[in-house]
Amino acid sequence: MNNYNHIDLFSGIGGFALGLNKSGIITQEFVEYEEYLQRVLTKHWPNVKIHKDIRDYHAPKNPFVITGGFPCSDISIGNPHGKGLEGERSGLWTEYLRIINESKPKYVIIENVFTLLSKGLGTILQNLAESGYDSTYTIIDSQHCGVPQRRRRVYILGVRDGIPRGTDPLANSIRSGKELRAKVDSIKGQFKWSFEARENSEEPIAYFTRQRSDQYAEKGVASTITKRDWKSFTDIVLCNNGVLRRTGIKERLRLQGIPDYWLDDCGLTNQQKYMANGMSIPVTQWLGEKLIQFDNLISK
């Protein structure tokens, strides 16, 4: 049995855990506040304990990795007046930091929206340094990891024992060359959508991504799916009977690399299923694989 144990904060429907489990890292505990999301976690990890409130949570000592994407409400571009890490929701970063300081994990992975770059990244890196962690960060767009969704996220890696000179745990140097960028730019046109069949011959024949509030364009890559899509959907599908509709629940799961059945038999309403938003599995699996490679390298 390996020692790659994992504590998952702000767990949602388990996007971090599912990807890391695929890489060989085993989830030990969850922390998730919403009861309907806890039901999803219980279905897929029936033997893993779930803690409700991060403010009351104390993690086991010295886990291999702690992960979490703390709430982006006060950081998101959708909230231009948000107070960043001083806000009520995004301010839960301080609880994440407390848990790091108490449990001293070997590694920490922190996820958040792209706007974290200007609304708190420096503070987080400083907090990690003051806690004794070297850190590096990267930006990963889900569409470049095998799912047709434009979803840029910031991922911060903290390393308790330091990042040795000459190592590159997140492969930033490999992923930033001009030649590779040219290859990445060609990915968008290569995606082939496979939508679920709908009743009444509503099979989709075209997919349109919102470019502006009043303009859609046929694309092979979806806009970033969000919780607020329940009220104001972002992208539309044209069916072969002329019906226009929003993307379906299973289609949204596929955009994240999550199995179609993931939310089945959990007692969720349609609204809750649309709000069950989270990590892209190919991204979290890639992060887990890179983390194990890095750990093996520095442990030699």
Of the residues 72, 145, 239, 266, which is catalytic?
Answer: 72
In 3D space, the residue among 74, 116, 8 whose CA is nearest the CA of residue 124 turns out to be: 116
Q: What is the 3-state secondary structure (H, E, C) of the chain?
A: CCCCEEEEECCCCCHHHHHHHHHCCEEEEEECCCHHHHHHHHHHCCCCEEECCHHHCCCCCCCCEEEECCCCCCCCCCCCCCCHHHCCCHHHHHHHHHHHHHHCCCEEEEEEEHHHHCCCHHHHHHHHHHCCCEEEEEEEEHHHHCCCECCEEEEEEEECCCCCCCCCCCCCCHHHCHHHHHHHHCCHHHCCCCCCCCHHHCCEEEEEEEEECCEEEECCCECCCCHHHHCCCCCEEEECCCCEEECCHHHHHHHCCCCCCCCCCCCCCHHHHHHCCCCCHHHHHHHHHHHHHHHHHHCC
Q: How far apart are CA 267 and CA 270, in angstroms?
A: 10
- Catalytic residue status for 72: yes
In 3D space, the residue among 65, 76, 92 whose CA is nearest the CA of residue 154 turns out to be: 76
Whole-Å CA distances, 289 to 135, 221, 235:
18, 25, 32
Residues with a catalytic annotation lie at 72
